[in-house]
Structure 1
Amino acid sequence: MNQPLIEARQLGKQYGQDIILEGVNTQVHEGEFVTLVGASGCGKSTFLKMILGIEQASSGELLLNGDTIPNEPGPDRGIVFQQYSVFPHMTVLENVIAAKGFQKASLTGYLFGKERRLAQQEATEMLTQVGLSHALKRYPHELSGGMKQRLAIAQAIICKPRILLLDEPFGALDPGIRGDMHTLILDLWKAHNLTIFMVTHDLKEGFHLGTRLWVFDKIRHDPQAPNAYGASITYDLPVGESDTRTYDDLHQQLTHQQQTSEKA
């Protein structure tokens, strides 16, 4: 098999005395779509930030194409958060053009001349793909939550990342809009040959999207010192091949895990 795009080897992360992740071992190949579930604070978002390059390993290794991930974000890794990362003073079209400008190391995000015309054409095409062709001249305050998230996704994908990181991107959206966003992200995943990691608290969403589902949990527990041990990947399931009983068992486990986390 080809070299994995992302590989974790005994990966660990801690802040001071608090251990967040420990002993994470996994491989992900190009084109996979991995959803991450688990209780709040179990290290899912931390793992995404380590792939992005804004958090570094405390122990073990996290590799990109066989090399240690750089200690800073790069154009090969894009991220979309639950909170919309858009510029309020720019129109929808200007927001996406600016994302292209920042990729070219422009401090302001502004492009000029031929570069700007090409970027405008590319941005318009991208916004059409995400269903915002009718809103090019609107400002973010004129958009619904679903439209803002489509804009954030367009900003990330126009930079042509190999890896797209989604940190609960649909958590604040209504169920009907979330369904539309699921269809959109699956279409973009296939159209742009992306490798996707998506954090979600919705187990059904995790089983519906992508190719693999990871459950993050602590293998070791100390009631007297809840942060003495970190989480690891306790389940790595192929999406679409798990039966109803597996879903029910995981749902019960995650509910208990969340309740325990809230009491700690």
Structure 2
Amino acid sequence: MSFISVKNVWQQYGDQVVLEGLNLSIAEGEFCTLVGASGCGKSTFLRLLLGQEVVSKGTILLDGQPLAKEPDSTRGVVFQRYSVFPHLSVLDNVALGLELPRSALLGRLFGAAKRDARDQAAALLHKVGLDHALDKYPTQLSGGMQQRLAIAQALIMKPRVLLLDEPFGALDPGIRKDMHALLLELWRETKL
């Protein structure tokens, strides 16, 4: 059975058809890459998988179930433009992903729960090679470091699917190669 099943998906905006009769089947743990010319619908498809848009026609199933109507923690995403909070430290950027869902009223944790969230965030930041930068702010990081921070933000929620929208496009070739290696290592570890 497919983990992600895309059946006859069409997406159009007014008279403009962006995706036409798309069919795709992805097994759990499989690494899938979509390649195409600019404007061919890759980012549109990503928005559909995230739940940011509703398909015009067809179905998308995640583990046999229709996608949630809104983005949720089952699907992590890393964009080309980093989605980090500039006013938070590296550690707080990642820990926030654990704090918000656990504390609906205040949006923050306290005491042992906060220490636990920060410990989990620090462990993940160690895996992505940012353990030396826990107290730094995003503006103090290089492009590659910011991208590793964005990946850690996405992974802290333990998503079942990690979606990447040209995450290495703005990086230098050497850094890009390092990021590919890091991502493959994390993919093997997390079994996304």
The superposition leaves residues 136-188 of structure 1 with CA deviations (integer Å, 9 ceiling, x where unpaired) of 00011100000000000000001000100000000000000001101100000
Q: Does 1:96 align with 2:111?
A: no
Query: Highest Rg: 1 or 2?
Result: 1
Aligned 8 A contact 2:103 2:109 in 1 = no
Conserved 8 A contact 1:5-1:28: yes
Is residue 182 of structure 1 aligned with residue 180 of structure 2? yes
User: Aligned residue for 1:69?
Assistant: 67
Partner SS for 2:23: strand
2:87–2:137 contact (8 Å) kept in structure 1: yes
What TM-score, normalized by structure 2, do the two folds share? 0.96
Q: Choose between structure 1 and 2 for higher RCO, CA contacts under 8 A separated by at least 6 residues.
A: 1
Deviations 1:40-93 (A, max 9, x none): 111111111111111111001111111211110111100000001011111100
Q: What are the equivalent positions in structure 2 for 1:1-264 lying under 5 Å apart?
A: 3-104=1-102, 106=104, 109-194=107-192
- Report the number of matched residues: 192
Instruction: Give the aligned CA root-mean-square deviation in angstroms.
Output: 1.2
Contact 1:103 1:159 in 2 (8 A): no
What secondary structure sits across from 2:83 in the alignment?
coil
5+ long unaligned stretches in structure 1:
195-264
The unaligned stretches of length 5 or more in structure 2 are none
Secondary structure in 1 matching 2:45? helix
Q: Which amino acid aligns with 1:87?
A: F
With the length of structure 1 as denominator, give the TM-score of the two structures. Answer: 0.71
Secondary structure, counterpart of 1:36 in structure 2: coil
Q: Percent of counterpart pairs with the same letter?
A: 56
